[in-house]
Chains A and B, each alone.
Chain A
Amino acid sequence: MKWFVLRRLLLMIPAALGVLTLVFFLVHLVPGDPVDLMLGESAGVADREALRHTLGLDQSLPRQYEHFLRDLLRGDLGESFFYREPVVRVIAERYPATVELAVLAMIVALLIALPVGIVAASRPYTLWDNGAVFFSLLGVSLPNFWLGPLLILVFALKLSWFPVSGREGFASVILPALTLGAGMAGILSRMIRGSLLEVMGEEYITAARSRGLSEAAVWLRHALKNALIPVVSLLGLQFGALLSGAIITETIFSWPGVGQLLLSAIASRDYPLLQGCILVIAFTYLGVGLLADLLYSWVDPRIHYGRAS
């Protein structure tokens, strides 16, 4: 296990480096000059060149890349062109908000998907099951840019239960988490249902029942845990996507996360900030992938990660 984790951690480095290299050259190829966007049109040629020099943009692209890598090795992601502050600090201010929203969205999704999936599987091909199918289709089909404002309209404007937007404590995270979690709940509940139905046909379930175990114990101890194995890998992928910034939801709810930061970095051609955001997103994806794999072995003890794996 230790070797597996170590190897996966080491493998993250070339993967993240590959992503960064690609992003570095792509952003420099996109039209649009950060100096123009920073200074506007009123600045003279001398000021423009001075700023270009200060930002290191007067050097050749390979040279800039070399500097970028050298700084990266020292753990320095540079200074944001627009915020005029270290990229690490700017991202660190936003990352907790993204994590908070992603974790809560995941909890919301599980809180909805688990009972819905179990109900559907326990009463297959009944009205309950059809209702669950309808619910999951609804969850998957409703776009965030529609569901978000709708939730605000009902729960913030009409009922005044929650604030409309912003990040002012726990109440403010409920609606964005619901918006983000609803779609995921739809997918998860279908997966849980399918997986549970498959497991319920297994012989060990029949064996458990014949041992006289209560129905609750059969479902909880024997069926659900085994049914969760494929769900865990899906959770890993979904969670990675959530952490990498749910841009639309963040924008609707004025949630100050990494998604919005990334968007503004692209718009303003803030290369260091953009690269920093991508690096964080890449590591998040890889880290969550690793966590999902570890969870896998916890849920299914047959899976071992060793030197030979």
Chain B
Amino acid sequence: MRKNHPERPRTLSHPLILGKAKFRKITEKLFLLFLALLVTEESCSSRNHLREGILVIGIEGNPTDLDPRTATDAYSNRIDSLIYNGLIRLGPQAEILPDLASGYEIKDPLTYIFHLRKGVRFHDGTVLSSRDVRYTFQSILDPRLGSTRAAAFAMVRTIETPDENTVVFRLKEPYAALLNALTTGVVPSPEGRKETSPPPGTGPFRLQGFRRGEKVTLEANPEYFEGPPALAGVVFRVIPNDITRVMEIEQGGVNLLYNAVPPDSLPLVEAEKRLTVIRAEGTGYSYLGLNLRDPILADPRVRKALALAIDRPAIIRDLLRGLARPASGVLAPSHWAYHGQVAQFEFDPARARRLLDEAGYPDPDGEGPKKRFVLSYKTSQDRLRIRIAQVIAQYLETVGIGVEIRSYEWGTFFADIRNGNFQLFSLTWVGVTEPDIYYYIFHSRSLPPDGANRGGYAHPGLDRLLEAGRRETDPGKRRAIYARVQELVAEDLPYISLWHNEEVVVLSREIQGFQVYPGGDLISLSRVRIGTSP
């Protein structure tokens, strides 16, 4: 009979097979080889990079396309803010500042004239001219390019270049949001140039290397028109995992994380002496979207009851670790057009219950398990979003509204939202800088696919105001129009405002001069200096 094991345990001398001396010899050789390999490596920490003036930034996702005309993802846009310049740029309060244009004049609501800075050079050494500006925006309007920005320039009738340094935009109809759209990076016209992908820019840093899914390397542009940056370069490293990113910044493998630390991990990095945490008011706006075609949600009393039933400060405190501020509308308080004197809905479940009773949805059994009605709440598979949905559902249950949470993979979720296949959903508008966003999300003509009025909201008075806001070029008058818009929207609640997410930047203490700009613009890196380590 075959035995499964030898009858007597066979003890081999240790090491098992080889002689001791030979084993030791081989082990020593392997160990030396291993050490040699490690020694030839770059240092584990990027503190060496920092000493050489190179800043390493960790980003959560992969930048897919760095061409500023076609870039769609937030990471590409953030990197582009260092490589390219627009005709204008936005200041910390989303105010319009000159960039490649030394100045501009609005001759009439249909004519915008831009005067270019002289002597600005692209990274390939060629001089910027009005032809490059015209080419940039004409190519965006060319459907063959497939640019996401085409809609922002749909009002442009012609782009004229009367001389090398002047560009004239003539519009089909007044469109005050044009200025905001002109923050798009300018690329060189291919005439007489060697075409490269992505094209060269004029920004403080130029592209040195792009290893997809891994990193983007930028080097300082010594010819930058505002003076060469103090940094020698910037490296963007793709680190998709939250925990890994936090450990990287703790170890010094990266030096800066922009909105890339999960709220739960913030206390960890705050406790780290080598790191600084900057918290600034953000332009992100989180909201609860409602389908106003739904007979239950079409009733404004129900919408108000929903707003009153949710304790937003408690969610901000407990789930978001204080990294947000309750919102009353799409625009953040720091925005030039913000208007705070609007209807506010503080947590008041008793009033919510009364409103639901008035709307004809009495609670069938008071504290019992039966619900007034049940709503479905769609969200993505992001863990924090699911937890937020669970907490909101809990609040709504306390006033007698049943909630079924359904979380979907992003593509499926987004398709459902666009197709109006939802009752409630939660999302965030990021980088809100132009008040014309109200047109895009609430005008009755902005139903998908022509806009993002996903809930099918229609309010003739609001439509008129939004059209006026687009036409008006005087900042004072525009502010007054959008103040009224904010009042109307806050009163009628096509969205339930949740909060403005704070911008949270974690950076090595040696980095000096970093400033937070709306929408994650990293342009302040052109002025950042590396100081001494504490």
A residues with CB within 8 A of B: 30-33, 36-48, 50-51, 54, 82-84, 90, 93-94, 115, 118-119, 121-126, 149, 152-153, 156-157, 160-172, 197-198, 200-202, 215-216, 219-220, 251-254, 256, 260-261, 264, 266-269
Contacts and interface: CB of A to CB of B under 8 A. Distances in A.
B239 A165 contact: yes
Interface string B435-469: 00000100000001111100000000000000000
A198 B2 CA distance: 8
A32 B214 contact: no
B416 A31 contact: yes
Counting from the closest, the 9 A-B pairs by CB-CB distance are A32-B411, A50-B143, A256-B213, A256-B214, A171-B41, A41-B452, A201-B3, A51-B146, A216-B17
Indicate the member of B44, B410, B440 with the most A CB atoms within 10 Å. B44
B151 to A, nearest CB: 4
Nearest to B4: A197
A204 to B, nearest CB: 12
Contact of B241 (A167, A171, A200, A251): A251
Given A42-B152, A94-B212, A115-B16, 5 more contacts: A37-B414, A48-B449, A149-B247, A170-B40, A266-B409
A160 B3 CA distance: 49
A116 to B, nearest CB: 11
A41 to B, nearest CB: 4
B271 interface: no
Interface in B133-165: 143-144, 146-152, 154
28 contacts: A33-B418, A40-B72, A41-B418, A41-B448, A42-B148, A43-B151, A43-B449, A47-B150, A54-B146, A82-B64, A82-B65, A83-B64, A118-B16, A122-B16, A125-B5, A149-B244, A152-B247, A160-B45, A165-B244, A166-B237, A169-B42, A198-B2, A251-B240, A254-B214, A254-B239, A267-B410, A267-B411, A269-B411
A115 B26 CA distance: 15
A215 B19 CA distance: 11
Nearest to B146: A51
Interface string B46-88: 0000000000000001101100001010000000000000000
B416 A47 contact: no
Contacts of B72: 38-40, 82
Contacts of A115: 16
Contacts of B314: none
Contacts of A94: 212-213
A47 B411 CA distance: 20
A168 B45 CA distance: 11
A276 B38 CA distance: 35
A42 B151 contact: yes
B241 A33 contact: no
A197 B237 CA distance: 49
A200 B6 contact: yes
Interface stretch (B7-15, B101-109, B476-484, B505-513): B7-15
A158 to B, nearest CB: 10
A75 B356 CA distance: 63
A94 B451 CA distance: 36
Contacts of B449: 41, 43-45, 48
B452 to A, nearest CB: 4
B414 A32 contact: yes
Given A43-B151, A83-B65, A90 B212 contact: yes
Contact of A201 (B4, B9, B17, B152): B4
Interface string B14-26: 0011100000000
Nearest to A215: B12
A157 B249 CA distance: 10
Indicate the member of A37, A48, A90, A168 with the most B CB atoms within 10 Å. A168
Contacts of B149: 42
B244 to A, nearest CB: 5
A39 B452 CA distance: 12
Given A41-B452, A168-B42, A169-B42, A220 B213 contact: no
A94 B248 CA distance: 22
Nearest to B410: A267
Contacts of A162: 44
Given A118-B17, A254-B240, A124 B5 contact: yes
Nearest to A250: B240
A54 B451 contact: no
B64 A93 contact: no
B411 A268 contact: yes
B12 A84 contact: no
B143 A46 contact: yes
A121 B62 CA distance: 47
A31 B251 contact: no
Given A149-B243, A156-B251, A45 B450 contact: yes
A40 B143 CA distance: 15
B493 interface: no
Contacts of A163: 44-45, 251, 253
A94 to B, nearest CB: 6
Contacts of B42: 168-169
Contacts of A40: 72, 148
B250 interface: yes
B128 interface: no
A166 B44 contact: no
Contacts of A31: 411-412, 415-416
Nearest to A270: B64
B211 interface: yes
B16 A166 contact: no
A153 B144 contact: no
B211 A93 contact: yes
Nearest to A152: B247
Given A42-B440, A149-B243, A167-B214, A157 B250 contact: yes
B151 A264 contact: no
Contacts of B424: none
Contact of B11 (A50, A123, A157, A252): A123
A88 B184 CA distance: 31
A254 B17 contact: no
B178 to A, nearest CB: 14
B212 A169 contact: no
B37 A170 contact: yes
Contacts of A125: 5, 9
